[in-house]
Amino acid sequence: TQLLEQSPQFLSIQEGENLTVYCNSSSVFSSLQWYRQEPGEGPVLLVTVVTGGEVKKLKRLTFQFGDARKDSSLHITAAQPGDTGLYLCAGDSDRGSTLGRLYFGRGTQLTVWP
Amino acid sequence: NAGVMQNPRHLVRRRGQEARLRCSPMKGHSHVYWYRQLPEEGLKFMVYLQKENIIDESGMPKERFSAEFPKEGPSILRIQQVVRGDSAAYFCASRQATYNEQFFGPGTRLTVL
């Protein structure tokens, strides 16, 4: 069983379009991180959200953490080919100060065509 | 400020041989995590270490796999008597003491022939 479910699994769009990807769980997380991974490389941290309802912006990327800290979304405005990659969400279990393992979703593979 | 370093980047072993993967965390990071990534399965936690201590090894197979993070030097993930099912990308991540923002290395891609 996957603790974090990401959707859609694949997304193929044209340059300039907007998109949203989702990360859902029935579990509560103390924090949630978004990564982007390119072929042959390790995941690169994009953002960490900690507070329920929190919204963070990184240029054209907007990240939101659900009020109940069970889900998150990533919205990209005016997508560019350089946004192509595998987007992963990862949650830190709600166990106080354990600060341990991350639980990963399977990712959304985004392809942006010029 | 160098990031997390892993070597080798690619490792080919025959069945029955040993694989040794190394990870040097970011400067100032004393917590190291190992994850394994298989196609279609995503990243799975294996083990969490601090200097000279294994904190959580619940994701690591009990046989053939071991990990260490000595007082000096890199963290090592060792796989003895490798089998084809061990073929995967192995990633190391590190973090500072007070935040669970984990930064990943480029990975070691292990192929077992």
* Predicted confidence (pLDDT) at residue A106 exceeds the cutoff of 80: yes
pLDDT-based confidence at B1, cuts 50/70/90? Answer: low
Average pLDDT score over chain A: 92
Residues A106 and A2: beta-carbon distance below 8 Å:
yes
Q: What share of chain A in percent tops pLDDT 90?
A: 82
Average pLDDT of span A41-52:
94
pLDDT at A99: 64
pLDDT-based confidence at A56, cuts 50/70/90? Answer: very high
pLDDT at A92: 86
Residues A21 and A74: beta-carbon distance below 8 Å:
yes
The residue among A66 and A93 whose pLDDT is bigger is A66
Choosing among A1, A2, A47, A99, which should be mutated to test the B contact, i.e. which has the most B CBs within 10 A? A99
Radius of gyration of chain B (CA): 13
* Predicted confidence (pLDDT) at residue A17 exceeds the cutoff of 60: yes
- Rounded to the nearest angstrom, the minimum Cα separation between A6 and chain B is 11
Q: What share of chain A in percent tops pLDDT 70?
A: 93
* Predicted confidence (pLDDT) at residue B62 exceeds the cutoff of 60: yes
* Predicted confidence (pLDDT) at residue A2 exceeds the cutoff of 90: no
Cα torsion through B86, A2, A46, B59, rounded to 10: -40
Region class of B106: left (phi > 0), else alpha (psi between -120 and 50), else beta = alpha
Could you list the beta-strand ranges (E) of chain A.
5-7, 10-14, 19-24, 29-37, 44-49, 55-58, 61-65, 71-76, 85-93, 102-104, 108-113
* Predicted confidence (pLDDT) at residue B98 exceeds the cutoff of 80: no
pLDDT at B14: 97
Could you list the beta-strand ranges (E) of A38-82.
44-49, 55-58, 61-65, 71-76
* Predicted confidence (pLDDT) at residue B21 exceeds the cutoff of 80: yes
| Region of poorest pLDDT, from A9-13, A50-54, A93-97, B62-66 | A93-97
pLDDT-based confidence at A6, cuts 50/70/90? Answer: very high
Check CB contact under 8 Å for B56 and A90. no
Average pLDDT score over chain B: 93
Residues A47 and A33: beta-carbon distance below 8 Å:
yes
Give the nearest chain B residue to A93 (CA atoms). Answer: B100
Q: Give the span between the Cα atoms of B61 and A21, in whole angstroms.
A: 33
Residues of B with CB under 8 A from a CB of A: 4, 6, 31, 33, 35, 40-45, 48, 55-56, 59, 91, 93, 95, 99-107, 109
Q: What is the DSSP string of B36-97?
A: EEETTTEEEEEEEEETTEEEE-TTS-SSSEEEE--SSS-EEEEE-S--GGG-EEEEEEEE-S
B75 φ/ψ angles, rounded to the nearest 5 degrees:
-80, 145
Peptide linkage before B70 cis (omega within 30 of 0): no
The residue among B100 and B56 whose pLDDT is bigger is B56
* Predicted confidence (pLDDT) at residue B42 exceeds the cutoff of 90: no
* Predicted confidence (pLDDT) at residue B26 exceeds the cutoff of 80: yes
